[in-house]
Amino acid sequence: MKKLSIVFSTLLLITACAPEVGSEAWCEAMKEKPKGDWTATEAKDFTKHCIF
């Protein structure tokens, strides 16, 4: 039970640090990421939120 609690807490902290899709921080991170590493969803979201 203790291990499960630690794993859950770690996952919560990791996901809390990721910028929200469409935010200025997310757009900047995507600009720095090589375009070959983008997923189709990331490319669509980048176009929707950062270009238009």
Higher-pLDDT residue of 39, 17:
39
Q: Does residue 1 sit within a domain?
A: no
Q: Does residue 50 sit within a domain?
A: yes
Check residue 15 and give its pLDDT: 66
Q: Does residue 11 sit within a domain?
A: no
pLDDT at residue 36 tops 70: yes
**4 confidence band (pLDDT: 50, 70, 90):** confident
Domain boundaries, position 41: 21-52
Split into its structural domains, the chain has a count of 1
Length of the chain in residues, anyone? 52
Q: Does residue 48 sit within a domain?
A: yes
Whole-model pTM over 0.85 = no
| First CA to last CA distance, the chain | 47
Map 1-52 to HEC letters.
CHHHHHHHHHHHHHHHHCCCCCCHHHHHHHHHCCHHHCCHHHHHHHHHHHHC
Q: Does residue 3 sit within a domain?
A: no
pLDDT at residue 10 tops 90: no
Give the CA count within 13 Å in the CB-facing half-sphere of 23. 7
- Residue bearing tokens 């990421």: 33
Q: Does residue 14 sit within a domain?
A: no
